[in-house]
Chains A and B, each alone.
Chain A
Amino acid sequence: LRFWLHLDVPRNDERGWVLNSKAVRGTLILDVEGRRLELKLGQSVRLPGGELDFAELRAWMGYKIYFDPTLPWLLFVAAIGLLGLGWHLWQPLGRLPVVKSDQNHGQSAGALT
């Protein structure tokens, strides 16, 4: 058994579109061992081994397609900002007292400007 939904509404792909299950009608297309069947909302069909009832259209999967051409530039500006901050702090950072002797206490103390 294979089935898919055919929406009985005109669709404009140039505009945002939301499938509202209460307002939109669809037809459930069935492929039962090569035989095509169509079910409208509320209809049912007897199949080998049971009955299929098209009760309601409740949920679906949706996708939001998003494209912002400024994002790479935003990342570039952020990277420039980070480099600028690093450059700004480079001089005081260069005076980090990375020394191996305990005797150097006090040599690196002072203002950070």
Chain B
Amino acid sequence: MSHVPLELALIWFGVLAYAASTFAAWRELIARHGRGAVLPWLAVGLVCIGLGIGLRWQRIGHGPFLNMFEILISNLFSLGLVFAVAYWRMPAARAAAVVVMPILMVLALWALAVDPVDTHLPATYQTPLLWLHVAAGKLFLGLCLIAVGLGGVICLQRSRIMQSIIHASPPAPLLDALAWRLMMLALLFQTSMLVVGAWWAQGAWGRYWAWDALETWAFATWVALAVAVHLRRSYNTAPIGGAAMIFVVFILAFLTFFGVPFISSAPHKGAV
């Protein structure tokens, strides 16, 4: 068997493990059965997807940075890893799995529907700054994703239908406080991503900021996040209002990461 089917098979198996983790998350929230199955399945998924990415990396000679398939599988891994660490270290964040895992499943199904065509790494991407920029971006989006999960649980708790079937979730004030602390951390990482990205752009394209589509949307996301953190800290908004602000920031971030680079013709999309 050549490497191509094996790497794809590993990624598909990882997606199946993510699906099992999603099922376990909902089962734990609703029925209190099968406790402890979320993290093991998530870990299995991470190992499989990580191996799949590694094999592909070895075969084509560079990491998953360029086309939609690569962006999706790398985020499946990185977002899953950030959530796995949070799930392991922060018990209050575990309830977020019922929202986080379905979002990861959307990315997973999207990845399976995209052509896994090989890419060529441009010279402008061969810099250590790429790693710092990408790492900061992934941490930002991962923290945002967990906050969205916590906000989603706050919303589920307020739903009449869900109230009757949810048995185990922390109180809304705790979820809200944890979510916003993660959002503040996300703000630091997103700011780092923009600064390092400007540094990289100066060397790669001779300009540190050009208001291309991706830069503009990344800046809009940063402004939305900064305003949301300011509002939350200054006015101590109610958990449901805080959750709404988190959703808005995440939607902007999601569009920036997975939408703008692939509908724009700007160089920043990864073509050069």
- Residues of A at the B interface (CB closer than 8 Å) are 64, 66, 71, 74-75, 78-79, 81-82, 85-86, 89, 92-93, 95-102, 104-106, 108-113
Chain B residues with CB under 8 A of A110: 173, 177
State whether A100 and B91 are in contact (beta carbons under 8 Å apart), knowing that A82-B191, A85-B188, A112-B180 are contacts in the complex: yes
The answer on a CB contact under 8 Å between B206 and A66 is yes
Chain A residues with CB under 8 A of B90: 96-99
Q: List 12 A-B contacts (CB under 8 A).
A: A64-B206, A66-B206, A79-B195, A89-B185, A93-B184, A97-B174, A98-B90, A100-B91, A106-B170, A108-B174, A109-B176, A113-B234
Q: Assess whether B160 is interfacial by the CB under 8 Å rule.
A: no
Distance A40 CA – B195 CA, assembled complex (angstroms): 52
The answer on a CB contact under 8 Å between A82 and B195 is yes
Q: Nearest residue in B to A95 (C-beta to C-beta)?
A: B181
The answer on a CB contact under 8 Å between B174 and A112 is no
Q: Nearest residue in A to B178 (C-beta to C-beta)?
A: A97
Q: Assess whether B264 is interfacial by the CB under 8 Å rule.
A: no
Q: Nearest residue in A to B198 (C-beta to C-beta)?
A: A78
Q: Nearest residue in B to A79 (C-beta to C-beta)?
A: B195
The answer on a CB contact under 8 Å between A93 and B185 is yes
State whether A71 and B191 are in contact (beta carbons under 8 Å apart), knowing that A89-B184, A105-B171, A112-B232 are contacts in the complex: no
State whether A97 and B92 are in contact (beta carbons under 8 Å apart), knowing that A78-B195, A82-B195, A110-B177 are contacts in the complex: yes
Chain B residues with CB under 8 A of A85: 187-188, 191
The answer on a CB contact under 8 Å between A99 and B91 is yes
Total A-B pairs, Cβ < 8 A? 87
Q: Assess whether B202 is interfacial by the CB under 8 Å rule.
A: yes
The answer on a CB contact under 8 Å between B195 and A75 is yes
Q: Assess whether B78 is interfacial by the CB under 8 Å rule.
A: no
The answer on a CB contact under 8 Å between B176 and A111 is no
Distance A98 CA – B199 CA, assembled complex (angstroms): 33
Smallest beta-carbon distance B218→chain A, Å: 15
Smallest beta-carbon distance B77→chain A, Å: 23
- B 137-192 contacts with A by CB, 8 A: 170-171, 173-174, 176-178, 180-182, 184-185, 187-188, 191-192
Distance A95 CA – B233 CA, assembled complex (angstroms): 14
Chain A residues with CB under 8 A of B192: 82
Chain A residues with CB under 8 A of B217: none
The answer on a CB contact under 8 Å between A96 and B208 is no
Q: Nearest residue in B to A74 (C-beta to C-beta)?
A: B208
Chain B residues with CB under 8 A of A101: 91
State whether A111 and B91 are in contact (beta carbons under 8 Å apart), knowing that A89-B187, A92-B184 are contacts in the complex: no
Distance A113 CA – B91 CA, assembled complex (angstroms): 23
Chain B residues with CB under 8 A of A79: 195
The answer on a CB contact under 8 Å between A89 and B188 is yes
Q: Nearest residue in B to A88 (C-beta to C-beta)?
A: B184
Chain B residues with CB under 8 A of A82: 188, 191-192, 195
The answer on a CB contact under 8 Å between A106 and B195 is no
Q: Nearest residue in A to B226 (C-beta to C-beta)?
A: A85
The answer on a CB contact under 8 Å between A105 and B92 is yes
Distance A86 CA – B232 CA, assembled complex (angstroms): 17
Chain B residues with CB under 8 A of A112: 177, 180-181, 184, 232-233, 236
Smallest beta-carbon distance A70→chain B, Å: 11
Chain A residues with CB under 8 A of B188: 82, 85-86, 89
Chain A residues with CB under 8 A of B174: 97, 105-106, 108-109
The answer on a CB contact under 8 Å between A92 and B195 is no
**Top 7 closest A-B pairs, CB basis?**
A109-B173, A109-B174, A105-B170, A109-B177, A78-B195, A89-B184, A102-B91
